[in-house]
Every structure is written in C-alpha cells, then in structure tokens.
Structure 1
Amino acid sequence: MVRRLTVALAAGMITAFAASMAIAQADVVKERQALLKQFGDATKPVGGMLRGSVPFDLAQVQAALDLYVKNAKALPALFPEGSGPGSDALPAIWTNKADFDARFAKLGTDAAAARAAITDEASFKANFPGVIRNCGACHDSYRQKN
C-alpha cells in the first residue's frame, strides 16, 4: 500500500513538473514575442523618418535606440532550449545559439553607438540603417517566413 502510494505520488509530481515546464515555455514565448513586438512598434515611425514620410523626431529615435539596447540584453535568455513551438523561431536558433546570442549583442552595441552618434537628421540617416540591418539579418537566419 505504501509503495503504491509512493509510486502514485512520484507519478503525480512528474506530471505536475512536466505541466509547469510547458506553462513556463509558453510564458517565455509570450514574453519574448512582447519584447519583439516592442521593437516593431518602435521601428515603424522611425522607418517612416528614414523614408521621409514621417517628420524627424530625435527624441523618438533615441527612445527606439534605448529600447533596442534594453531588449537586446533581455532577449537571449528568452530563447531556452525547447521553446520554439508556438512561435516563428526556427530550430537554427538552438543549433547555433552562440551566433544567435551574438546577434543580439551586436544589435545592442550598434544601437548604443548610434544613440551616441545621432544628433540630427543627417546623422540619423547615416547611422540608423546599420542598426536595423541587424534585425533583417537575424530574421533571415532565425525566423520562420510567413
């Protein structure tokens, strides 16, 4: 009787652990998607500035760059092994994690350098495209095309 109870308790604990891991994976996917959506939301008006369809706004550019720096630091940890399902993340993220993490580090470094260099519209147009090229390069390698 005690042995059956012990086995049942162990099986229940394993099931609960597995369920909590699945919930944690879903949470990490939602969290990283939220941070990446922030990137997109911040980039849209700044992209308009690059194209000349939105007036240049230095404060908005600086806010976008600050966001890139902040989120680039947080995002690598939000891609733990096995968290691909339910997202556009390609398996290449986990087979080449060092490169993937380095791309976020480069985005953060490039955004910080651009933040220091951009003081007007001319310096914005000279520096900002290099920052957002990081996004496209990562998407090309690590994001599922829809």
Structure 2
Amino acid sequence: MRKLVIAISMLALAGSAAFADPILDRQALMKERGKIVGGISKVVKGEEPYDAAAVLTALQALQANAEKVDVDALFPAGSDTGDTTAAPKIWEDMAGFKAANDKFIADVKAAAAAAPADVDTLKTQFDTIASNCGTCHQTYRVKKG
C-alpha cells in the first residue's frame, strides 16, 4: 500500500501541467485515473491489505484527478480524430457525456468524504465508482483492436 501512496503522489505531480494537446492530455489523465483505480481495486480484491489512510489518500487522488477533467478543454470540436479512443458519441451527446463525468466526480467525492473505515464499505463505494467507469467506456469509448 505504501507503493500505492508513492505512485499516486508522483502521478498527481506529473498530472499538474496545463493542457497543451487535448488528446494527449485526456489520455494522460485517464492513464493516471486507471492507475489509481487499479490500486484501489487490489485492496477491494484482497490482493493488498486494507489500510484506511492509504485508501483515503487514493480516493483523494482520484477526486483530484476527476476534478482536473475539464470536458470543454479536453474534448473540443476537432479532437475526435487522430490517436484517440474517444467515441464520436461524445460530440454527438456532449450533455450526456458531461452528465456522466459529473456523476463520476460526485461519486468519487462522496467516497472520499465518507473515508471508508473498512474494506466492505470501500467495496460498496468502489462498485459505484467502477460502474461509472464501465458505463462511460461502453458509451463514449471506442474499443481498440
């Protein structure tokens, strides 16, 4: 779990740069998000021991990541081509995409604010967060290969 905290701290520092290329920037944020979620997932699955402080740090890092996602800046018109797995559905249904992003942010904030005291509580919160990821990926992401 100590490795998770160190990795999250490094990712948060690396992810603080201003948006330069919307495709590369959103990919970097999603890669960071995936690493954080992956670390929490290991705890939920019992692959890593439950450590309340480390879990809270991870949830706070996930919240910070989620709050960095400025949909308008990261998904401007014309950024739907190139090396991207962002589905055309994003630009066809921008309001729905923003709503999905807002729900993710709200659920992550709620989990971080609740500071899960045990792994069972974390599992419930994580299921909600992971469900948001799955729904968004199914609707707004093109599967590679």
Instruction: Say yes or no: does 1:78 pair with 2:74.
Output: yes
- Quote how far apart the aligned CAs of 1:37 are: 0.6
Q: How many residues align?
A: 122
TM-score scaled by length of structure 2:
0.76
Structure 2 Cα separation of the partners of residues 64 and 123 of structure 1:
15
- Of residues 126, 131, 137, the one that matches 1:128 is 126
Which runs of structure 2 are paired with 1:72-111 in the superposition (5 Å)? 72-75=66-69, 76=71, 77-85=73-81, 86-111=83-108
Greater radius of gyration (CA): 1
- Quote how far apart the aligned CAs of 1:72 are: 2.5
Partner residue, 1:30: 24
Q: Is the 8 A contact 2:59 2:112 kept in 1?
A: yes
* Higher RCO (CA-CA < 8 Å; seq separation 6+): 2
- Quote how far apart the aligned CAs of 1:126 are: 2.2
- Quote how far apart the aligned CAs of 1:71 are: 2.8
Unaligned runs of 5+ in 2: 1-18
Structure 1 Cα separation of the partners of residues 95 and 61 of structure 2:
22
- Quote how far apart the aligned CAs of 1:26 are: 7.5
Higher fraction of helix: 1
TM-score scaled by length of structure 1:
0.76
Instruction: Say yes or no: does 1:140 pair with 2:125.
Output: no
SS for the counterpart of 1:52 is coil
- Quote how far apart the aligned CAs of 1:74 are: 2.8
Q: Is the 8 A contact 2:80 2:88 kept in 1?
A: yes
The residue identity in structure 1 corresponding to 2:109 is: A
Q: Percent identity?
A: 39
